[in-house]
Structure 1
């Protein structure tokens, strides 16, 4: 699954997946590790969320992602993040450039 997310980040392609029983469509921006958990920071643009309005930034634990698909649809690239930078990771594996 990491390889698919790296591919999507490098090609700036949207991803679709289920997370905690809800369908999601998102722009993957950072794949990294925090507290030994591999996570992807996404700008979620569609689907459902239990945390509120969309679109918005969401962080997803890879081991909870189900049915990941890389879509043919591209996104423009980096987006402004409210703090001016993406949230911190202990180690970054891939980042949208």
Structure 2
């Protein structure tokens, strides 16, 4: 388990990390084990670059593929539209955004 991810979720801080060779900036909402058995973070992409979907929006990131993970000093208001506190894509929850 990555404590920095949970700390960012609890404090509602943006998370900055490298993923697939590109920097990502995300509002982290959910961290746990997905249905495929991988640690993952679900969040709203607000910055950086994504080849699969260039627009801001919901993404799931595999923790093993994330590097240089750090919370920024910037915060976010709260859950984005579409946030599901009972996300069916996860079988175990380490931490999640409180509504």
Q: What is the TM-score when the length of structure 1 is the normalising length? A: 0.90
Aligned residue for 1:10? 10
**5+ unaligned residues in a row in structure 1: which ranges?**
none
CA RMSD of aligned residues (A): 1.4
Aligned residue for 1:67? 68
> How many correspondences in the alignment?
95
Cα distance between partner residues in 2 of 1:87 and 1:52 = 22
Contact 1:46 1:54 in 2 (8 A): no
Aligned residue for 1:92? 93
**5+ unaligned residues in a row in structure 2: which ranges?**
none
Cα distance between partner residues in 1 of 2:68 and 2:88 = 25
Aligned residue for 1:38? 39
- What SS is found at the alignment partner of 1:90? strand
Q: What is the TM-score when the length of structure 2 is the normalising length? A: 0.89
Deviation for aligned residue 1:87: 4.9
Cα distance between partner residues in 1 of 2:25 and 2:88 = 20
Aligned residue for 1:23? 23
